[in-house]
């Protein structure tokens, strides 16, 4: 089985200048990957945060507002984002 490429970007958060602020990798996945693979990629990036966006598929026709599942990893562990979602809604 051949290797499949993953689209990714490295972004600088909390700044308006390149190479400043907090770097994070953002990976655009076509389908959900297992946690071991996600953790291995985050460790390979070796920056503070790696984000994975995976499309949420439904039986409803494609809309102009696609939905994504979001998971965050550090080089050593997955980040529990439920706290951040709770803060976001208050």
37-74: pLDDT as tens digits: 999 999 999 999 999 999 987 666 566 778 889 999 99
Active site residue 49: yes
| Model confidence, pTM | 0.78
Residue 25 has what pLDDT?
95
Residue 66 has what pLDDT?
80
List the catalytic residue out of 32, 44, 49, 78.
49
- Name all contacts of 65-72 with Cβ < 8 Å and 24+ positions apart: 69/32, 71/38
Residue 13 DSSP SS3: strand
Q: Return the sign of the alpha-carbon dihedral for residues 8, 13, 19, 22.
A: negative
């Amino acid at each position: 089985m051949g290797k499949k490429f993953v689209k990714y970007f490295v972004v600088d958060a909390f700044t308006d200048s390149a190479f400043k602020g907090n770097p994070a990798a953002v990976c655009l996945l076509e389908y959900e990957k297992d946690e071991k693979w996600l953790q291995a990629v985050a460790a390979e990036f070796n920056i503070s945060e790696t984000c994975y966006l995976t499309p949420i598929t439904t039986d409803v026709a494609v809309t102009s507002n696609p939905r994504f599942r979001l998971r965050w990893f550090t080089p050593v562990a997955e980040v529990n984002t439920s706290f951040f979602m709770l803060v976001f809604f208050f």
